[in-house]
Amino acid sequence: MSTVLAQIESQIAKLSSTAVRKNTGFITAVADGVAKVNGLSDVMYNEMVAFPGGVIGIALNLGEDEVGCVVLGDVSQLKQGDEVQTTGKLLSVPVGKGLLGRVVDALGNAVDGKGAIDSTTFYPVEKIAPGIMARKSVNQPLFTGIMAIDSMIPIGRGQRELIIGDRGTGKTTIAIDTIINQANINRVGLASGDPAFRPVYSIYVAIGQKNSNIVRTIAALEAAGALEFTCIVAAPAADNPANQYLAPYSGAAIGEWFMENGMDALIVYDDLSKHAVAYRQISLILKRPSGREAYPGDVFYLHSRLLERAARLDGKGSLTALPIIETLAGDVSAYIPTNVISITDGQIFLETDLFNQGIRPAVSVGLSVSRVGSAAQIKATKQVGGKLKGELAQFRELAAFAQFGSDLDAKTKAQLDRGSRIVELFKQPAFNPISIELQAVTIFALQKGYYDGIDIKTVTKTSASIREFFKTRQDALLTEIRTKAALDKDLEAKIVTALNAWKSSAA
């Protein structure tokens, strides 16, 4: 009984007699998710404001006579003359491991029906990116599980690598594969009990996507057992533009918690083209001056301040960003693509033609680049795949010339044949990432000529057969490759022996 009384007493104590000062204003107009407010003379830029009925908004335009606020909720219940109050707080979202396996909206509210988010820590949605001195150079690999990327366009922890391409070229698939691969690595690493192992947690931010697509992504992650290491921030197409504008920043805040607490995280922004469109919509409603393609003048800053938050911090963790940009008819010179290309540390360009030819993932080796380069590769990958990008580029050049002439010398024919085999080797089904040790074995087999002499069309199948053989019968050898992360003479000999065993078993 005394506990009950104590609770009531504490509630009464909260009803203090001191006056609380609030700065207020009145709605003069509400349209398209934006409220114009008269008053709010003390409001700060980006401050949360409280509308009646528990609806919150953010002050984005501080005008001379009125404040433009984006409403993050149901605007239908707001009307002219309603009182608006400042809160003195910047927008914050819950962060922490309690978000893993959960689907949240742009404000960090659970939308998956699994109950409230188990978190007591909140991070501001908008935060200044880490400075120069706090950062460390990117030299730890982040394996995507996609052979074409890990061997030729390696991504490091803390890097920002853009995935760019037309619609339907497999951009999201690459991102999902990467998330699934992190989960696979995490499971193996955590099971090994290695104290030096650093798991990578993933955040997938869906901006302006169809709900059905988001559901499909969640299902794919769940089927692959990756959802337990992933948090999904969903701002679907049906959501208001303010939430679509905020979602990437909320995702970044969630990722920053992992980074600042000594862990590694990966964040996927799918996609920033739709994010720019949502921001353009808000800006036009706020009557901000428009520039090229009707985007506001600060659309570069919109993405630069977001992507700068991805970093590898000295003495702490890292946040790797994979932003996605959708191009129109392969035009990478459009406004938003060029902006994001210039901000990121490289790009993976996906080509529609390659996709239609059945080359999947449709990575254009010529146009794709990673500015971190081989610094983010393990030695084993460098040893087996160091020359692949050059060989493939040479192949593309020769293949273009070969179309015009029929008489080719033996050397050229051999180069074309090898190039075709590399292209076939890099074909990989969706949601099926390959571990780095299996990638090393697969490419090692190419270097040692195990795919020579077989029909080009069977290269993909043969490589899958080699991987299956190693996975089922050479587990110890794969573990050795993974732990050593480099191929010495002894290890190479063991792989050759195993490959010969596969060859004889397959014959």
Partner 1 sequence: MAAVPAKTRVFVKQLVQLSLVNGRVSSEQVAGVLEYLEKHPPARPQVVLGYYRDLIAAELAKGEARIEHAGPVAPSAVAAIAAAMTRRYGRPVEAVTLPNPALFAGLRVRVADDVFESSVSGQLAALAASC
First to last CA, the chain: 82
Edge-to-edge order in the sheet of strand 66-71: 34-39, 66-71, 56-62, 47-50, 83-90
Q: Which listed residue (6, 7, 9, 22) binds partner 1 by CB under 8 A?
A: 22
Do residues 231 and 217 make contact, with C-beta atoms less than 8 angstroms apart?
no
Q: Taking the complex as a whole, how short is the minimal distance between the CB of residue 14 and partner 1, in angstroms? A: 6
Choice between 66 and 351, CB closer to partner 1: 66
Q: Taking the complex as a whole, how short is the minimal distance between the CB of residue 241 and partner 1, in angstroms? A: 19
Binding flag, residue 489, partner 1 (CB under 8 A): no
Do residues 296 and 317 make contact, with C-beta atoms less than 8 angstroms apart?
no
Please list every residue from 80 through 119 that binds partner 1, using CB under 8 A.
Answer: 85
Stretch that binds partner 1, among 32-40, 99-107, 221-229, 444-452 (CB under 8 A): 32-40
Binding mask 280-319 for partner 1 (x = CB under 8 A): -------x--------------------------------
Cβ-proximal residues to 466 (8 Å cutoff; 6+ apart), any chain: 441, 442, 445, 450, 499, 502
Distance CA 244, CA 234 (A): 8
Q: Which listed residue (6, 29, 328, 493) binds partner 1 by CB under 8 A?
A: 29
Please list every residue from 342 through 401 that binds partner 1, using CB under 8 A.
Answer: none
Q: Which among 191, 313, 202 has a CA at the least distance from the CA of 267?
A: 202
Is residue 137 classed as helix, strand or coil in its secondary structure? coil
Stretch that binds partner 1, among 34-42, 161-169, 291-299, 313-321 (CB under 8 A): 34-42
Binding flag, residue 208, partner 1 (CB under 8 A): no
| Residue labelled with tokens 């509400």 | 30
Q: Which of 288, 305, 371, 396 is catalytic?
A: 371
Is residue 135 classed as helix, strand or coil in its secondary structure? strand
Do residues 499 and 448 make contact, with C-beta atoms less than 8 angstroms apart?
yes
Do residues 186 and 229 make contact, with C-beta atoms less than 8 angstroms apart?
yes
Structural tokens at position 355 = 């996709």
Q: Taking the complex as a whole, how short is the minimal distance between the CB of residue 33 and partner 1, in angstroms? A: 16
Choice between 23 and 412, CB closer to partner 1: 23
Choice between 11 and 403, CB closer to partner 1: 11
Stretch that binds partner 1, among 7-15, 102-110, 260-268, 485-493 (CB under 8 A): 7-15
Choice between 80 and 458, CB closer to partner 1: 80
Residue 183: left (phi > 0), alpha (psi -120 to 50), or beta? alpha
DSSP β-ladder status, 200-207 and 230-235: parallel
Residue 288 known to be catalytic: no
Q: Which listed residue (34, 35, 40, 78) binds partner 1 by CB under 8 A?
A: 40
Q: Taking the complex as a whole, how short is the minimal distance between the CB of residue 24 and partner 1, in angstroms? A: 5
Catalytic center residues: 371
Positions touching partner 1 (CB under 8 A) are 11, 14-25, 28-29, 36, 38-42, 50, 54, 64-66, 85, 287
